[in-house]
């Protein structure tokens, strides 16, 4: 018989039944009011649920409710801060209920394996975000919505405006591999990919294609739980070592009948912050400029810097000045190898002479280049449930137009969740999400010609009217020659964005199906299979005359990724006697990950404007050496929870993994977790008006971890053929055939106390993690023949604290004010690195990443320390070259005889990119149906390197470069020239003040001594952001009368509205993206972040 | 009871399913994308390409400038000796020696003497570039991470040169003693006799390089007087060059530069003026007429002095329109027939060998006709550019051989300097030893009026091989541009 239930036909039949037959009982409508038993004030927001039926409602702003219930049914009324109450429906159609304030807390939170548990029973820190917080003030990348709301979470992103990628870390950096510090994302119990795949190489600059978890649709999310520690690792495996972001999708449970909900948001984005540009001097050099061919033909017109004439309205030939023959000044093609060598003289003659136009500043030339971004999201969801099942079907359409011209994103998500009780003992559930994500163009990132910010922040002439660049082909040479203000170094930004596109097309499905069978009342078995499968196609076009691609180029990248998880979980649950509750689980998981990649490039195009691989002028090149990867992990785990008198809870779990990536003798590894929660107020029977609730928790967890596939054998990588000869090179990463699994051990302890009938709540957590035997490619000097060797190494200690404080200063009948504060602080210290057991050679520092600065792990120092060349300074150390026995000049910067700072001979510590602490302050004010939420996000401390500062000075673009040219470039004029503040060392070793004056350009172009001395461009990355403002109104349903419309709400939202920081020019909350790795602490001419304003409308019927 | 038993059995089955099936894990973790062994012929091509491209990169960016073949009119840091990190040679020498070592090991095991010799010659050439650029560098302990050496010591330059000279001789002796053909050789296409000539020609270069420190007379004579055993280059046909192609990705590397990045390099007044005074027909290949006059009836050539500051450089002579650019065969014409015959990656040429021999003969280190070597060198240089030496050129007072030894050495040095156009790094290495021609430091230089004589070690070495580096610095002198390496001391 049971076999029938399991048949496919049976399941389909059941699902159809679920959709169609939503039961209607012979019910009556019960009305009532819920009040506070002590104050008699009405209580809005109390929920009334019909027990075991899944039907329910909530009280409105006047404490009133109305629902259908049959005589004899039991109603449960609950509200946070009050003791729940159950009543049985009688014959009366009116039910007025009063609730007593309760010291008990029955908050429920979704935890590992999707199990809802009372928060008080948890022995570890977890924080929850409701789905509503994600959909009203929405972000295209859902990860960004967590900013400022969860203690201990750091998020840095690449602000491209259209669902760009974000890096999230919880409780700081534990791993020496900078890519392995992110948490695991789990949707409905099954892990999903959070891959960020790089896209550079062969002269193509990095473009931001988003990160895997960023594609989750906020409209389908019921809640997000952040499990901060490693406690859940036994249940989700090693990847949960860095915490878990647990996403629970919406279902049709607890909805009455068939319901339809609609939620729409339209928001407008503009640029939050642009650099402060100077608006005094235009393009040129030494005060001179005149356009002839943009290539050095005119006076300094090949120069792409702003050391030219003052912009005073004088008449000068410019690229957009009209010519005698009706062309523009810049309509002259010099790009030689596009259509063969060109005769410049003939072209100049054809163009005609330039009629000079006024030389004026364009203060808004960059601001005006950016457009108003528009994001529309529309969601419609159909839900239904009855005693036997429930379903939810949802469709979401996202359409985004970025602030960067010609960038967009279109995402369609269909989500289905359903469950059905096939028999009283057998339940089936599924949740499936299918999405398509398309972008015609994603902007390029990082320093280089393909990123518009490279041009804007560093080089663009301040006199250039960007609107003149909009018509970006040279007259008569469409598809062949771009039109630009400078042909020596740059691409026209409109040309780059409209012609050189980076498209993306993703199809992805993730979800799971599960069967739960109750073997006995106290024993159940769950079988589940889940997958995350995606196919991505990226096409990248480069037009003829692009600086880096004179003959154009075309590239196709295909990325296929599948992760399949198959689980079983046997669960035993028993109340042993009056005092003990026992819950035991035995589970297993088989995980398989397969990746398929191809990346093919047509290095040059035969025919301009045709973007196909077959239009390649030369042989196609293959750019990937790893077309296929596969990895498997098999696991068994056991968990147990023991509850005592509902105030003492013990959780234990253990897991054994078998990973395909490790050598056979160390393939199997066991790890465990245990934690305790004690509710003191209950245990000690404390009843107090002051202390409402107190809980202590303590946990310890150990996690083992594996590595990437194919790390055990040296291989040879195919190289680009050399003049037709195929070629290979041995991998420069030295493998280690004897790898052991990584092990990290963490302890966590915390306290949760509530006061004044839960109107003040404080949660404090301290944690300490020791991560050892990390598997990582430890960099070697290339003189050893290898760039890195893979080893088990290191001991990183990570400790910190998290505090959340919730206060409700005012709560009365009509008005309430809630404050939510969170604060966190983390320190990661490198305790040990590596000592070669054979040679005894010791590794005392480890370079995690290099980009302008080196991020190094040195024994005894903090993780995230950044090193680089600094200023040589006068020292009190007699061994120093700059020793000052008098002590008078100690600390001063030492200049050379030419007035330039002397660099230190070796790299010095320039700071740490990790913040000292993070904080968030949320205020919510509610008045009847109206609510106002204001969220501030604070980050204190941490250093940032700014490439905008370095190069913006060289280009004379930013405001700072006015120093030393108060009145032109004549050094004899007062105010011109710069004398660096510091000393010079005299021949006799004494010091005297530096008096050497440098021209403004000399000073600013060598401010970093050719980008080598970077101490002067490190900034305190602290900031405060007005992260979110939300003003919402929910229309009481009574005004909707008999219409079927319900819960009509309208919300005005603003995100990232204001920024306060000491970092000049840029948003410190940005990062640099190199080869798929986001490097924190480095700003590399990132696209400006955006602020958004929008309106959200929701209703149901 | 039976019911429970069945349940237990099925659960046990699941457990076995989850954990037991790890038998094929080794297979799953076997990389299907890449081989674990390849033959030497597949390793050689990319070594040759990478080294040539690395050498050309530093030649263009630094060598040609410091030796005053070219000068910069924008972004003049290099020309003012504000040299940032110059890691191209370093990284490529060591990165590619990994594969060289594998060829050596494989050829040793297989008795492939030709491959072994070719690898030894490549290795010697590569390490000569490294030590000539940096001084003391890791050598004897280099490329040994597999054997557990993570921190190779820096050998003295003397030890390195001893190693190079030994390896080159070994290579010459080995070549032809086995029968395998050298596949994957894009320089000589497997021509063993040419490799042998290169080995011995490089020995002469190396011996002359260290001739200030050591009496190299006997070693030189052992080669020059015995060319039947130790053949050397006999004509331009023996030139060790890497020929680029007309199509991507094998084009001359500069072909794909941004136009501005190419044109910020201009003719150095130092070289251009002397060529002009000699009416040297190589000049129009090296340089273009000023943009202003290029298409006029009377094209004018004009260089700019080295080491000017940005403003002075760009405005020199009235601006870029009046400053000669670098020859078009090195840029847009690099893919034309004439470009392909000139713009090559160069290991060593017949011309250079002749000038070395002329110097050795003039100094009495070898017997032989210094004048003949000299004139062969000049002729070979013209030949390289598809020219014949103009009638009367060799009798010009500035060119004609004869007279004092000092005068002759100056003429050899000068012609060699010219012939090493676009081999700026080699020209600089050689100039440091001879001081010919007499060059003045760039005008607004930032190096205390000294022409640099070495590269700084890569900064990353401070983090990854600190102790070894420090020992080298303590021995050799401060890690700056001015410390003299062993063979210059």
- Interchain proximity A783–B258, CB inside 8 Å: no
pLDDT of residue A814: 81
pLDDT of residue A1071: 67
- Interchain proximity B14–A203, CB inside 8 Å: no
Distances (CA, A) of B182 to A261, B78, B253: 74, 40, 26
pLDDT of residue A13: 44
Question: Within an 8 Å CB–CB cutoff, is residue B142 touching chain A?
Answer: yes
Which one, of A411, A381, A387, lies nearest residue A399 by Cα?
A411
> Which residues in chain A have Cβ-Cβ distances shorter than 8 Å to B77?
1006, 1010
Q: How many CB pairs under 8 A join A and B?
A: 298
pLDDT tens column, A635-672: 999 999 999 988 999 999 999 999 999 998 889 999 99
pLDDT class for A341, splitting at 50, 70, 90?
Answer: low
pLDDT at residue A105 tops 60: no
Question: Within an 8 Å CB–CB cutoff, is residue B148 touching chain A?
Answer: yes
Which one, of A242, A251, A245, A244, lies nearest residue A224 by Cα?
A245
Q: Percentage of chain A with pLDDT > 90?
A: 51
Nearest to A784 among B152, B295, B332 (CB): B152
Displacement of CA A595 from its chain's centroid (Å):
23
Residue B205 φ then ψ, to 5°? -60, -45
Hey, which of A129-143, A154-168, A1005-1019 has the most confident mean pLDDT? A1005-1019
Question: Within an 8 Å CB–CB cutoff, is residue A1001 touching chain B?
Answer: yes
> Which residues in chain B have Cβ-Cβ distances shorter than 8 Å to A542?
none
Question: Within an 8 Å CB–CB cutoff, is residue A1044 touching chain B?
Answer: no
- Interchain proximity B21–A710, CB inside 8 Å: no
pLDDT class for A832, splitting at 50, 70, 90?
Answer: confident
∠ CA A522-A523-A526, nearest 5°, is 135
Q: Contact at 8 Å (CB) between A599 and A624?
A: yes
Mutate which: A784, A837, A897, vs B, most B CBs within 10 A = A784
Mean pLDDT for the stretch of residues A203-216: 84
Nearest to B462 among A628, A836, A906 (CB): A906
Question: Within an 8 Å CB–CB cutoff, is residue A398 touching chain B?
Answer: no
> Which residues in chain A have Cβ-Cβ distances shorter than 8 Å to B96?
729
- Interchain proximity B11–A304, CB inside 8 Å: no
Mean pLDDT for the stretch of residues A147-156: 79
User: In sequence order, which residues have a C-beta less than 8 Å from that of residue A50 and are 6 or more positions away?
Assistant: A56, A67, A69, A73, A74, A75
Which one, of A509, A376, A506, lies nearest residue A433 by Cα?
A509
pLDDT of residue A335: 58
- Interchain proximity A727–B25, CB inside 8 Å: no
pLDDT at residue A571 tops 70: yes
Chain B: closest CA distance from residue A265 (Å): 45
Nearest to B46 among A632, A659, A727 (CB): A727
- Interchain proximity A337–B245, CB inside 8 Å: no
Chain A: closest CA distance from residue B185 (Å): 9
Mutate which: B47, B183, B290, B311, vs A, most A CBs within 10 A = B311
Nearest to B145 among A489, A718, A780 (CB): A780
Q: For residue A523, what are the β-bridge partners?
A: A520, A572
Question: Within an 8 Å CB–CB cutoff, is residue A425 touching chain B?
Answer: no
| Calpha distance A543→A605 (Å, rounded) | 9
Segment-wise mean pLDDT, segments of 10 residues, chain B, 489 residues: 54 56 85 93 97 97 97 93 92 97 97 97 98 98 92 97 98 96 95 98 98 96 96 97 90 88 95 96 96 89 95 91 94 90 96 98 96 98 96 96 95 98 97 96 92 94 90 95 96
pLDDT tens column, A430-471: 999 999 999 999 998 888 899 999 999 999 999 999 999 999
Nearest to A488 among B38, B49, B263 (CB): B263
Quick one: closest CA in A to B31, which residue? Answer: A710
pLDDT of residue B311: 86
Question: Within an 8 Å CB–CB cutoff, is residue A596 touching chain B?
Answer: no
pLDDT of residue A907: 86
Mean pLDDT for the stretch of residues A667-689: 90
Number of Cβ within 10 Å of residue B142's Cβ equals 26
pLDDT of residue B445: 92
pLDDT at residue A167 tops 50: yes
Q: Contact at 8 Å (CB) between B293 and B300?
A: yes
> Which residues in chain B have Cβ-Cβ distances shorter than 8 Å to A661?
29
pLDDT at residue A1076 tops 70: no
| Calpha distance A837→A773 (Å, rounded) | 13
Question: Within an 8 Å CB–CB cutoff, is residue B21 touching chain A?
Answer: yes
Higher pLDDT, A156 or A818: A818
- Interchain proximity A1012–B85, CB inside 8 Å: yes
Which one, of A247, A313, A156, A204, lies nearest residue A1083 by Cα?
A156
Question: Within an 8 Å CB–CB cutoff, is residue A972 touching chain B?
Answer: no
- Interchain proximity B186–A709, CB inside 8 Å: no
pLDDT class for A563, splitting at 50, 70, 90?
Answer: very high
Mutate which: A306, A484, A782, A1005, vs B, most B CBs within 10 A = A782
3-state secondary structure chain B: CHHHHHHHHHHHHHHHHHHHCCCCHHHHCCCCCCCCCCCHHHHHHHHHHHHHHHHHHHHHHHHHHHCCCEEECCCCCHHHCCCCCCCHHHHHHHHHHHHHHHHHHHHHHHCCHHHHHHHHHHHHHHHHHHHHHHCCEECCCCCCHHHCCCCCCEECHHHHHHHHHHHHHHHHHHCCCCCCCCCCCCCCCCCHHHHHHHHHHHHHHHHHHCCCCCCCHHHHHHHHCCCCCCCCCCCHHHCEEEECCCCCCCCCHHHHCCHHHHHCEEEEHHHHHHHHHCCCCCHHHHECCCCCCCCCCCCCCCCECCCCCHHHHHHHHHCHHHCCEECHHHCHHHHCHHHHHHCEEEEECHHHHHHHHHHHHHCCCCCCCHHHHHHHHHHHHHHHCCCCCCCCHHHCCCCCCCCCHHHHHHHHHHHHHHHCCCCHHHHHHHHHHHCCCCCCCCCCCCCCCCCCCCCCCCCHHHHHCHHHHHHHHHHHCCCCCCCCCHHHC
pLDDT at residue A416 tops 90: yes
Chain A: closest CA distance from residue B488 (Å): 24
Question: Within an 8 Å CB–CB cutoff, is residue A33 touching chain B?
Answer: no
> Which residues in chain B have Cβ-Cβ distances shorter than 8 Å to A656?
19
- Interchain proximity B46–A716, CB inside 8 Å: no
Nearest to A303 among B14, B295, B314 (CB): B314
- Interchain proximity B25–A632, CB inside 8 Å: yes
Quick one: closest CA in B to A720, which residue? Answer: B46
Nearest to B34 among A337, A547, A716 (CB): A716
Judged by CB atoms within 8 Å, which residues 205-234 of B form the interface with A? Answer: none
Chain A: closest CA distance from residue B319 (Å): 7
pLDDT of residue B400: 96
Quick one: closest CA in A to B53, which residue? Answer: A722
> Which residues in chain B have Cβ-Cβ distances shorter than 8 Å to A1011?
84
pLDDT class for A80, splitting at 50, 70, 90?
Answer: low
pLDDT class for A1073, splitting at 50, 70, 90?
Answer: low
pLDDT of residue A691: 92
- Interchain proximity B18–A590, CB inside 8 Å: yes
């Amino acid at each position: 018989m049971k076999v029938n239930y399991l048949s496919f036909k049976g399941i389909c039949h059941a699902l159809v039944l679920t959709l169609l037959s939503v039961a209607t009982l012979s019910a009556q409508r019960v009305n009532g009011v819920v009040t506070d038993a002590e104050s008699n004030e009405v209580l809005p927001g109390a929920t009334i649920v019909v027990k075991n039926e899944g039907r329910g409602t909530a009280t409105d702003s006047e404490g009133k409710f109305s629902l259908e219930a049959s005589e004899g049914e039991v109603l449960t009324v609950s509200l946070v801060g009050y003791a729940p109450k159950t009543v049985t429906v009688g014959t009366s159609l009116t039910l007025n209920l009063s609730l007593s304030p309760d010291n008990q807390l029955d908050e429920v939170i979704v935890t590992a394996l999707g199990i809802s548990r009372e928060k008080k029973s948890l022995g570890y820190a977890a924080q929850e975000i409701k789905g509503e917080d994600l959909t009203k003030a929405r972000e295209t990348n859902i990860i960004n919505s967590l900013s400022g709301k969860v203690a201990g979470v750091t998020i840095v992103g690449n602000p491209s405006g259209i669902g760009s990628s974000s890096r999230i870390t919880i409780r700081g950096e534990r791993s020496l591999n900078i890519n392995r510090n992110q948490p695991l994302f789990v949707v409905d119990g099954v892990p999903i990919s959070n891959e960020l795949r790089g896209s550079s190489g062969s002269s193509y600059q990095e473009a931001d294609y988003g990160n895997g978890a960023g594609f989750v649709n906020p409209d389908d999310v019921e809640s997000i739980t952040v499990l901060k520690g490693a406690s859940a690792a036994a249940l989700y495996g090693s990847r949960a070592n860095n915490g878990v972001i647990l996403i629970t999708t919406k279902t049709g449970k607890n909805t009455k009948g068939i319901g339809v909900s609609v939620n729409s948001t339209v928001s407008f984005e503009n640029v939050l912050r642009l650099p402060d540009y100077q608006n005094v001097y235009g393009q040129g050099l030494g005060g001179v400029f005149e356009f002839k061919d943009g290539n050095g033909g005119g006076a300094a017109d090949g120069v792409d810097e702003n050391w030219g004439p003052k912009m005073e309205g004088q008449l000068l030939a410019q690229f957009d000045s009209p010519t005698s023959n009706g062309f523009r000044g810049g309509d002259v093609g010099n790009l030689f190898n596009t259509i063969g060598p060109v005769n410049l003289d003939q072209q100049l003659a054809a163009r005609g002479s330039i009629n000079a136009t006024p030389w004026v500043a364009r203060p808004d030339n960059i601001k005006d280049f950016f457009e108003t971004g528009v994001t529309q999201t529309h969601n419609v969801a159909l839900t239904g449930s009855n005693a036997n099942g429930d379903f939810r079907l949802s469709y979401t359409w996202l359409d985004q137009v970025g602030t960067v011209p010609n960038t967009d994103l279109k995402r369609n998500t269909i989500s289905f969740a359903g469950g059905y009780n096939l028999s009283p003992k057998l339940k089936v559930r599924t949740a499936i999400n299918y999405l398509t994500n398309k972008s015609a163009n994603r902007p390029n990132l990082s320093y280089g010609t393909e990123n518009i910010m490279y041009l804007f922040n560093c080089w663009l002439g301040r006199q250039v009217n960007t609107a003149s660049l909009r018509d970006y082909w040279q007259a008569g040479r469409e598809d062949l020659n771009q039109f630009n203000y400078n042909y020596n170094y740059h691409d026209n930004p409109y040309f780059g964005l409209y012609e050189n596109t980076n498209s993306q097309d993703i199809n992805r499905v993730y979800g799971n199906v599960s069967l739960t069978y109750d073997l006995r009342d106290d024993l159940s078995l769950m079988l589940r299979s889940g997958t995350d499968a995606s196919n991505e196609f990226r096409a990248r076009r480069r037009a003829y005359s692009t600086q880096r691609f004179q003959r154009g180029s075309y590239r196709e990248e295909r990325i296929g990724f599948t992760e399949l998880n198959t689980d079983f979980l046997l669960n035993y649950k028993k109340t042993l006697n009056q005092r003990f509750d026992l819950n035991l689980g035995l589970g297993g998981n088989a995980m398989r990950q397969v990746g398929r990649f191809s990346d093919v490039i047509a290095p040059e195009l035969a025919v301009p404007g045709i973007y196909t691989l077959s239009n390649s002028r030369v042989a196609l090149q293959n750019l990937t050496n790893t077309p296929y990867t596969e990895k498997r992990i098999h696991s068994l785990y056991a968990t147990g929870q023991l509850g005592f008198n509902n105030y003492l809870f013990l959780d234990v779990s253990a897991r054994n993994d078998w990973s395909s990536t490790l050598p056979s003798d160390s393939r199997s590894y066991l790890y465990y977790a245990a934690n305790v929660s004690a509710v003191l107020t209950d245990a000690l029977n404390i009843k107090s008006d002051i202390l409402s609730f107190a809980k202590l928790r303590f946990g310890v967890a150990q996690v083992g971890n594996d590595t990437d596939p194919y790390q055990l054998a040296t291989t040879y990588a195919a190289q680009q053929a050399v003049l037709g000869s195929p070629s290979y090179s041995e991998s420069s990463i030295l493998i280690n055939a004897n790898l052991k699994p990584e092990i990290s051990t963490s302890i966590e302890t915390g306290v949760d106390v509530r006061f004044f009938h839960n109107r003040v709540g404080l949660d404090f957590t301290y944690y300490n993690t020791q991560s050892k035997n990390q598997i990582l490619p430890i960099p070697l000097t290339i003189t050893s023949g290898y760039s890195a060797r893979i080893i088990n190494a290191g001991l990183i200690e990570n400790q910190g604290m998290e505090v959340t404080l919730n206060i409700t200063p005012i709560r009365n009948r009509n008005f309430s004010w809630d404050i939510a504060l969170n604060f966190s602080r983390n320190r990661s210290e490198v305790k040990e690195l590596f000592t070669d057991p054979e040679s005894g050679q010791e590794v005392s520092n480890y370079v995690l990443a290099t980009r302008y600065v080196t991020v190094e792990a040195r024994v005894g120092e903090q993780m995230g320390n950044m090193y680089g060349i600094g200023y040589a300074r006068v020292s009190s150390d007699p061994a120093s070259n700059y020793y000052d026995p008098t002590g008078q000049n100690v600390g001063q910067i030492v200049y050379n005889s030419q007035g330039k700072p002397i660099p230190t001979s070796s790299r010095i510590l320039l700071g740490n990119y990790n913040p000292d602490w993070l904080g968030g302050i949320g205020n919510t004010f509610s008045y009847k149906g109206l609510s106002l939420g204001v969220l501030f996000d604070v980050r204190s401390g941490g250093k940032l390197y700014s490439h905008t500062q370095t190069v913006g000075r060289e280009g004379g673009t930013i405001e700072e470069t006015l120093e030393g040219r108060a009145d032109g470039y004549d050094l004899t004029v007062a105010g011109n020239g710069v004398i660096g503040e510091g000393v010079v060392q005299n021949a006799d070793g004494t010091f005297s003040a530096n008096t050497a004056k440098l021209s403004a350009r000399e000073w600013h172009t060598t401010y970093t001594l050719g980008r080598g001395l970077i101490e002067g461009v490190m900034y305190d990355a602290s900031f405060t952001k007005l992260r979110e403002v939300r003003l919402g109104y929910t229309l009481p349903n009574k005004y909707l009368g008999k219409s079927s419309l319900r819960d009509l709400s309208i919300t005005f939202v603003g995100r990232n509205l204001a920024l306060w920081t000491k970092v000049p020019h840029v948003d410190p909350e940005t990062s640099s993206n190199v080869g798929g790795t986001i490097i924190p602490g480095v700003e590399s001419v990132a696209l400006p972040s955006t602020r958004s304003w929008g309106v959200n409308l929701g209703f149901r019927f | 009871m039976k019911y429970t038993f069945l349940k237990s059995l099925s659960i046990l089955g699941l457990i076995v399913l989850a954990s037991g099936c790890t038998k094929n894990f080794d297979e799953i973790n076997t990389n299907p994308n890449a081989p674990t062994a390849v033959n030497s012929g597949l390793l050689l091509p990319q070594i040759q390409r990478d080294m040539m491209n690395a050498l050309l990169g530093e030649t263009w960016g630094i060598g040609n400038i410091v030796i005053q073949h070219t000068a910069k009119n924008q972004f003049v840091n290099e020309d003012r000796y504000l040299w940032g990190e110059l890691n191209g040679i370093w990284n490529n020498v060591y990165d590619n020696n990994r594969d060289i070592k594998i060829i050596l090991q494989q050829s040793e095991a297989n008795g492939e003497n030709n491959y072994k010799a070719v690898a030894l010659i490549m290795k010697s050439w590569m390490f000569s570039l490294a030590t000539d650029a940096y001084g003391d560098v890791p050598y004897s302990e280099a490329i040994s991470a597999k054997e557990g050496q993570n921190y190779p010591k820096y050998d003295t330059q003397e030890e390195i040169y001893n190693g190079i000279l030994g390896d080159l001789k070994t290579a010459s002796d080995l070549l032809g003693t086995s029968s395998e053909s050298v596949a994957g050789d894009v320089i000589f296409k497997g021509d063993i006799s040419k490799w042998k000539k290169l080995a011995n020609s490089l020995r002469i270069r190396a011996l002359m390089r260290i001739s200030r420190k050591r009496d190299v007379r006997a070693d030189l004579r052992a080669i020059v007087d015995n060319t039947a055993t130790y053949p050397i280059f006999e004509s331009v046909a023996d030139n060790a060059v890497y020929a680029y192609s007309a199509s991507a990705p094998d084009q001359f590397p500069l072909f794909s530069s941004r136009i501005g990045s190419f044109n910020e390099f201009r003719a150095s007044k130092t070289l251009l003026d002397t060529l002009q005074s000699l009416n040297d027909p190589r000049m129009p290949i090296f340089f273009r007429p000023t943009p202003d006059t290029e298409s006029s009836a009377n094209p004018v050539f004009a260089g700019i002095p080295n080491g000017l500051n940005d403003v002075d450089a760009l405005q020199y002579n009235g601006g870029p329109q009046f400053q000669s650019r670098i020859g078009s065969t090195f840029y847009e014409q690099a893919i034309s027939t004439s470009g392909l015959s000139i713009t090559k990656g160069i290991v060593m040429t017949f011309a250079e060998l002749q000038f070395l021999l002329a110097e050795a003969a003039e100094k009495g280190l070898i017997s032989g006709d210094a004048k003949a070597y000299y004139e062969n060198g000049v002729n070979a240089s013209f030949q390289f550019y598809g020219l014949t030496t103009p009638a009367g050129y060799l009798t010009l007072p500035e060119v004609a051989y004869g007279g004092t030894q000092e005068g002759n050495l100056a003429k050899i040095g000068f012609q060699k300097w010219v012939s090493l156009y676009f081999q700026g790094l080699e020209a600089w290495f050689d100039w440091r030893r001879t001081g010919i021609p007499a060059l003045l430091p760039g005008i607004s230089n930032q190096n205390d009026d000294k022409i640099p004589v070495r590269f700084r070690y890569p900064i990353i070495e401070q983090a990854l091989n600190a102790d070894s580096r420090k020992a080298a610095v303590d021995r050799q002198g401060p890690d700056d541009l001015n410390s003299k390496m062993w063979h210059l001391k």
